[in-house]
Amino acid sequence: MEPSRDDFVIAIRSAFLKKGTKQRFSLLALLFFSILLIVLSKFNFTAINYLKLGINEVVFRTSFIVSLPEKYISYSFYAIEEHIDLYKDYNLKKEELKKIKSEKYNVNFLEAENKRLKKVLEDISSSSEEIIAKVIIDKQSPFLRSIIINKGSKNEIKKGMAVLSDSYLVGKVIEVNFMTSRVLLLSDLNSKIPVTIEPGGIQSILSGNGVSDGVIQYTKGKMPINGEGVVYTSGTGGLLKSGIPIGKIKHNENKNNVDFFVDFSQLRFVRILSYSEEKN
């Protein structure tokens, strides 16, 4: 016998309206409540923001504790991997050190010269205050590449502050709670950072590809990037100072992807910086 339209309606009504055994809430009521939450969060309703802040504080700490066993396994795995690659790595580092030593004197000279010239030009340079934070959650999703750090408004963290690992940029603060904050990583599709590509001083916007790389966007025509271009912050917009290293250009078929200097899945501690302008 073919099921009629009435049967379909009865089945839907029974599925959504009838409370099952041991169910305290009706499915339809909860669905409507979820939709209400979505709508209110879309319009940044104050009560929803407070609810989110409250849940954030509890959930981030709980999530950190629940994730401890897996974190331990993951770190052990990387430690073993590092041990295996130790000899190969040692030789590479030795080569690099030799190169860096030879470049160091040149850099010192250029730095001093740069400072002198800035003074002559009465240019504005940036100064910063540094806060060290621990990464407590790095649950990555294809839709949001972000990490949670254990410093919040209590520690004077503000939205838009730059987040660095060593001296490399990894992202910026997008959400601040009382004791925790969320950092949007550069690899996120929604992250847009004004950058300069050297050599050549090409100005562009860096976006994430949602996985682990960055993508150079909005450049006019074909970019004359030769070989290994290095990407730095341009300082446009005033949030970040110019010259923070980000990554290296890696040429793909049609795109210029950026290979970040930092492996975002291995972040444990980060530096949070705010830049303020200072006259020489």
Give min distance, CB of 58 to other proteins, in A.
9
Does position 259 bind other proteins by CB under 8 A? no
- In the complex with other proteins, the residue whose CB is nearer, 37 or 230, is 37
User: 178, 154 in Cβ contact below 8 A?
Assistant: yes
Alpha carbon distance, N-terminus to C-terminus of the chain? 87
Tokens representing 13 are: 């009504």
How far is residue 243's CA from residue 256's CA, in Å, rounded to a whole number?
20
CA-based radius of gyration for the chain: 25
For CA atoms 70, 210, 262, 178, give the dihedral sign: negative
Does position 210 bind other proteins by CB under 8 A? yes
| Segment near other proteins (CB under 8 A); pick from 19-27, 85-93, 224-232, 268-276 | 19-27
Identify the residue among 4, 25, 88, 130 touching other proteins (CB under 8 A).
25
Residues in 39-78 at the binding interface with other proteins, rule: CB under 8 A = 41-42, 48, 51-52, 55-56, 59-60, 62-64, 66-67, 70-71, 74
- Residues contacting other proteins: total by CB under 8 A: 56
Please list the residues that pair with 194 across neighbouring strands. 205
Number of C-beta neighbours around residue 277 at 10 A: 10
Tokens representing 218 are: 């909005």
Give min distance, CB of 43 to other proteins, in A.
10
Does position 205 bind other proteins by CB under 8 A? no
Coil, strand, or helix at residue 165? strand
The number of residues in the chain equals 280
Residues in 128-187 at the binding interface with other proteins, rule: CB under 8 A = 137-144, 146, 175, 182
Site of interaction with other proteins (CB under 8 A): 3, 7, 11-12, 14-16, 20-27, 30-31, 33-38, 41-42, 48, 51-52, 55-56, 59-60, 62-64, 66-67, 70-71, 74, 137-144, 146, 175, 182, 189-190, 209-211
